[in-house]
Structure 1
């Protein structure tokens, strides 16, 4: 085996990305997700991440065998690294994955990370080869998420029947397409901070993320190949945003919308605001991007309330994602 470090965006990176796509197809078949080099580069900058990419090829040839990327955060939770590792299905069980994993763990350790927090997914509840690989290499499971899919379009009559119609004297629902209004940014920063601590994290302690209006502006209001739509609930008496949800459509898979985050502030829960903003966003998505045929979301199995909301909307479970952690 021969290992090289590459820069994502150069010609070699397409072969690197195809290893990830081939491994994903091996797990999910026709339902495999796809990404693009443009998206990977864009996301790293927006998330304040430093990424290093590695490709393993057969000795004496340029045939790709395994690919990986280390993810080091520079703004918050800087001691917790990420890892994206794939072995091509034609070359699995030949030690390439273990070799590349050891290399990436060493890189993250040298970069000052004290642990790795990552995930793997499969269409079977009990896990697959990635589950066994993680356990064999000292990773512990911190959380189990349900992957849920919604087929589009959803009939407007069905959406109307589900709509909780919040009291307009108490809450109004607003939607923004491909960018957020300037007057949202301060409140959205607060909601993002709360999202980082209120969402289930399982058996791992993560610090509150450092969000301010400028970070929200960079995330949502600078040119990007990723398209987004967001709906919020505004508390009329105070004028503050108290709930949000967003969907993104990525260039590598324009027929799929991915649910990013949904949150209702604790003090405003119990009023069906989560359902209200999700319905508004679905309506906007179907209006703006009719080519999208699937909405996909992930929720911890312990988050029964959000899973139930998704089921009311018509989402069905299509897979399970395990979150993993390992101390370095």
Structure 2
């Protein structure tokens, strides 16, 4: 991969002053998280196929007991895939929960696997697009989306060279602390979603920055942009970031192989004529790519999330959807 025009930055750990000592998370309310992390850590010693088989078993169990998430996924699939039969949708909900289970055990790979192991598991398609983008010296915004392979995609990008990632802080404080520590082991900088200045600085250093802005968004940069024909409160700030930084924007989509042997990460060419001057139209282009990838791997999209809830509309409060 093309290197930065300035000296390559080294990977940095989180500053000690910013770390929350882990002994603060020994209270009983965190025991369940510690147990789950221990199981995931132990599963990391298994071959990938065995790991994913274990994850699918966890997902099938979650499908039985997680009525709320099952309902959210069912509503989303009914909204986005109206041409599918009820039976097709029910099968997709089950397959999606299996994919969620895979995502849980993949945390072990993302956090603890060596680069050497991941390089054996990950195949890249389109690296030349990133190399050409970095040759311009303005970094690259790697525009990703919320599939169940999200975390694997972010870690995979670090295999190509120094990388920064932008992330949302999890609600659980223990998971938030461990996520920050682990991400900082593999990246130049793990940037929280409110640190836009740090994102721009990474681009200025000619780094690729992994960025997934496709979740429901209601801030000042929010607009209603269709997704699968449904009105969706969306973040349209990507156009503004591209304009300020001059960085090319490359769609970036990871996928889990159907035979459970690894992952394919697809790097698209940079959007042309971007930003266009119309942030809603720019965001719609991104949504169309998401729709394309969802149709290729429907079980791997994050259906169990209230993507279409708005201040004046909550489809998840309705009755009548078969879960």
Q: TM-score, normalised by structure 2?
A: 0.29
Q: Which has the higher strand share?
A: 1
Q: Which has the higher helix share?
A: 2
Q: Determine which structure has more spread, i.e. the larger CA radius of gyration.
A: 1
- The structure with higher relative contact order (CA 8 Å, sep 6+) is 2
Q: TM-score, normalised by structure 1?
A: 0.29
